[in-house]
Amino acid sequence: MRLDPDTCYETMLSKDRRFDGWFFVGVSSTGIDCRPVCPVRTPRRQNCHFFANAAAAERAGFRPCLRCRPELAPGNGLLDVSSRLAHAAATLIEEGFLNTGSLADLAARVGVNDRHLRRIFDAQFGVSLMEFAQTQRLLMAKRLLTDTRLPVVGQFLPRVRRLFDLDSRPDLIDLHLGDLAAGSPGMRVPGAMDGFEIAVCALAGQSPRSTNTQCILARIAGRFGTQVSAPQALTRVFPSAATLAREPVSALEDTGMSRKRAEAIVALASEVSSGRMRLEPAAPLEETLHALRNIHGISEWAVQYIAMRALAWPNAFPPCDPTLKKQLGYASASALGRHAEQWEPWRAYATLHMWSQLEGQLKRHPAT
């Protein structure tokens, strides 16, 4: 993401924690250096100066904020690791992990022992794991009592919010995208209940929404998925990464995909099932994108689609998308990428708007 001052300020207004650690702001009226997610009231634009890291802000004479603590933001060396682990644990707690699992289970899920997790969690949030979990339970109980009459299980609500992108700010995003968003204001980027399933959708065919790809995905679910009893004629759930990691490449080829795509899916399944890769919003973005690009057969288009849907990265953008290049009149991915800079840091939303517009055009004027 470019360090454009206007773009950074709009990101600050959104308080979107997906941008935490991507830049820092020095406030000239207070002399304080803050993270973009600082809970204090957003300062005026003319008082804000933006920096790529906290050290640069300190060299410019700004003091670290005692509320948001810039030194704990993602992207600060060893502190980054602890911060990511603490935030991953917080996300799992919000999703109800401790309703059925123990602290030891939670620590094992994020890859550390429980003593170390307690220490870094307290340093990051200033409360213990159990205090944080208890607060989340109380907040969830209040939300269920006041916001809904439906028999919803509380632990699924955070996942539903993530699935439907309910924590985004469509008003600010639409304002930034301008005319591009005018036809479909309020559009959100759908997330995923299972990041691995989204990745397979991106890899199985030329387009996740094409008829051929949908047929391949149906065959994968039918042959390798788990049978369930559920309403609305749902009979199978999509296979897990562990299941597909055990299958030979030829078995996936038999569903109708190319050998190259089948090899990529099996390799990805192996990485996910082993725990070496996590396809979820709490996963470290740059490391995960790098790991995806290292798997033979995964295109940059698929990497960006996975970032958009599974990793919930709002600035994901596929510059190699042939339909976008054709729609905007660019011959190269680099030229399209430069054009898309105007939509940062909301390029994922811009992409969905353009795909939606193209789909509407095709429905109005179908090919003959």
Q: Which phi and psi (to 5°) does residue 54 adopt?
A: -65, -30
- Helical segments of 126-194, H only: 129-147, 157-163, 170-177, 179-182
Q: Count of domains in the chain?
A: 4
In this prediction, residue 77 has a pLDDT band, given cuts at 50, 70 and 90, of: very low
User: Mind listing the pLDDT tens digit for each residue in 227-244?
Assistant: 887 767 778 899 999 999
Q: What is the mean pLDDT of the chain?
A: 87
Say whether both 206 and 306 belong to one domain.
yes
Selection from 328, 259, 325 nearest residue 297 by Cα: 259
Instruction: Tokens 């919930």: give the residue.
Output: 312
Exposed/middle/buried for 102, CB within 10 Å: 0-12, 13-18, 19+? exposed
Selection from 55, 95, 60, 51 nearest residue 79 by Cα: 55
Is residue 262's pLDDT more than 70?
yes
Q: What pLDDT is stored for residue 75 in this prediction?
A: 63
Is residue 50's pLDDT more than 50?
yes
In this prediction, residue 127 has a pLDDT band, given cuts at 50, 70 and 90, of: confident
Say whether both 239 and 200 belong to one domain.
yes
In this prediction, residue 282 has a pLDDT band, given cuts at 50, 70 and 90, of: confident
CB–CB of 70/57 below 8 Å? yes
Indicate the SS3 state at residue 24.
strand
**Kind plus residue range of the DSSP H or E element containing 50:** strand 48-51
Alpha-carbon distances of 236 from 179, 209, 211, rounded to whole Å:
42, 20, 20
What is the C-alpha separation between 122 and 246, in angstroms, rounded? 39
Say whether both 108 and 205 belong to one domain.
no
Structure tokens at 132: 């944080």
Say whether both 180 and 321 belong to one domain.
yes
Q: Given 24, 40, 70, which residue is the final one in a domain?
A: 70
User: Mind listing the pLDDT tens digit for each residue in 130-145?
Assistant: 888 887 777 766 665 5
Q: Which phi and psi (to 5°) does residue 28 adopt?
A: -65, -30
Is residue 33's pLDDT more than 90?
yes
Say whether both 180 and 325 belong to one domain.
yes
Q: Given 46, 70, 94, which residue is the final one in a domain?
A: 70
- Chain centre to alpha carbon of residue 23: 18
Q: Which residues, other chains included, contact 125 with Cβ-Cβ below 8 Å and sequence gap of 6+?
A: 86, 90, 132
Say whether both 146 and 233 belong to one domain.
no
User: In percent, how much of the chain has pLDDT > 70?
Assistant: 91
CATH number of the domain encompassing residue 124? 1.10.10.60
Say whether both 267 and 125 belong to one domain.
no
User: Mind listing the pLDDT tens digit for each residue in 318-364?
Assistant: 999 998 998 899 999 999 999 999 999 999 999 999 999 988 877 77
Q: What pLDDT is stored for residue 78 in this prediction?
A: 44
CATH number of the domain encompassing residue 38? 3.40.10.10
User: Mind listing the pLDDT tens digit for each residue in 130-187?
Assistant: 888 887 777 766 665 565 555 555 556 777 888 899 888 899 999 999 999 999 999 9
Q: Given 276, 292, 313, which residue is the final one in a domain?
A: 313
Exposed/middle/buried for 81, CB within 10 Å: 0-12, 13-18, 19+? middle
Say whether both 319 and 174 belong to one domain.
yes
Say whether both 194 and 255 belong to one domain.
yes
What is the C-alpha separation between 335 and 331, in angstroms, rounded? 7
Say whether both 229 and 194 belong to one domain.
yes
Q: What is the CA radius of gyration of the chain?
A: 22
Say whether both 147 and 117 belong to one domain.
yes
Q: What pLDDT is stored for residue 128 in this prediction?
A: 86
Say whether both 194 and 307 belong to one domain.
yes
CATH number of the domain encompassing residue 221? 1.10.340.30
Q: Which domain holds residue 14?
A: 5-70
> b/e for 40-64, b at 16 or more Cβ within 10 A?
eebbeeeebbbbebbebbbeeebeb
